[in-house]
Structure 1
């Protein structure tokens, strides 16, 4: 009997290891992408959203087995509670991420869709990323122009306060910047176009893929 209990406890530990495998795997995928160890397509699309999602589903099965073990007094109820909480949080995070990507606006937003601001010198770095749909106020209620000629210093301040680093020179007509995400290193470019009586802003992901309305 003592041997059976020890074996059951060991099985609970193995189930717990399976449950935490998905979040640990996603963390490794994110850091590898962020540091340039592999591409965004490999780190995010393949490792995080496909392999990681499979591991999360496998972890949910392991969490259910852990619950059964706990109900039969073959595993610690506290460990079972932690395992179930981690599994639920992991599945919930995946569901939230998929829903925001599917329902979010395009990751190219401009306050002027009739005459969309260009990114200037950043266009060369963006490549073909600007060939997709550019959304406006219909996609993002906050995407409205400032009906005034903003001072360049104010535009610089606004970009820097939003976490963008300045790119290129500052002129009376244009200020541009780049923001790099923490986890997967997703790059967003922003440009503030200044004209008499109107200032427009455009923000777009450099990779041209959806990011749940992050722009």
Structure 2
């Protein structure tokens, strides 16, 4: 009688392991999408939009279902099986929560080219325009975004460069009356370019995504960060 009981326990443990692995599939796929994109195996659009936001989202909810099944199976003997259930539920729950948060952020209907002066937006330098493949003066005009306003003072080029660096940009140039920078995203390498125009009594900012992918209000968020760095302390 003892052998069937031992066999059943072993089978239950194997099921719990598979359910725990199922709960980890979504984050594993996201990591694969990230590294594949960074190493040039596929485009950022495929890695982010297809592998992560479509397939990864499906696997995230499937993983949560698997975690709940693991909890039900482990409930009869939480002392010996509870670790599997807890791990599966923690990973799946955190993954689904992150997908929901990012989904809300990406759903925001925001522009990818924003500025503090929509009537006369700052222009990118020749070096940055070259990095953008010639995209700097063509395409949809930059627009304003909520809470983004010009700095009502003339800042020094050094201050503009420091504001770009504080917002995570790499400075591409800083001279009298202007500064430029670019920022490559950590996960999928999506790049934004920034231009700061300095005039007597006013400093304007422009941030534009380098590609055509829609990633929520990232351009507005970065532009606000640059403006915050330009504002006087206190």
TM-score by length of 1: 0.89
Aligned equivalent of 1:19, options 13, 18, 23: 23
Residues 30-49 of structure 1 correspond to what in structure 2 (within 5 A)? Answer: 30-49=34-53
The alignment's C-alpha RMSD in Å is 2.0
2:131 pairs with 1:125: yes
- For residue 8 of structure 1, give the secondary structure of its aligned residue in structure 2: helix
Match of 1:192 in 2: 196
Structure-2 separation of matches of 1:198 and 1:4: 75
Match of 1:159 in 2: 164
Report the alpha carbon displacement of residue 140 of structure 1 after superposing the two structures with TM: 2.9
Report the alpha carbon displacement of residue 9 of structure 1 after superposing the two structures with TM: 0.5
Per mean C-alpha deviation after superposition, the further-off stretch among 16-25 and 59-68 is 59-68
Residues 140-155 of structure 1 correspond to what in structure 2 (within 5 A)? Answer: 140-141=146-147, 143-155=148-160
**Distance verdict in 2 for CA 1:132–1:93, change over 3 Å:** farther
Structure 2 residues without counterparts, runs of 5 or longer = 220-234
**Distance verdict in 2 for CA 1:193–1:31, change over 3 Å:** same
How many residue pairs get matched? 211
Structure-2 separation of matches of 1:73 and 1:132: 61
2:6 pairs with 1:2: yes
Residues 89-100 of structure 1 correspond to what in structure 2 (within 5 A)? Answer: 89-100=94-105
TM-score by length of 2: 0.82
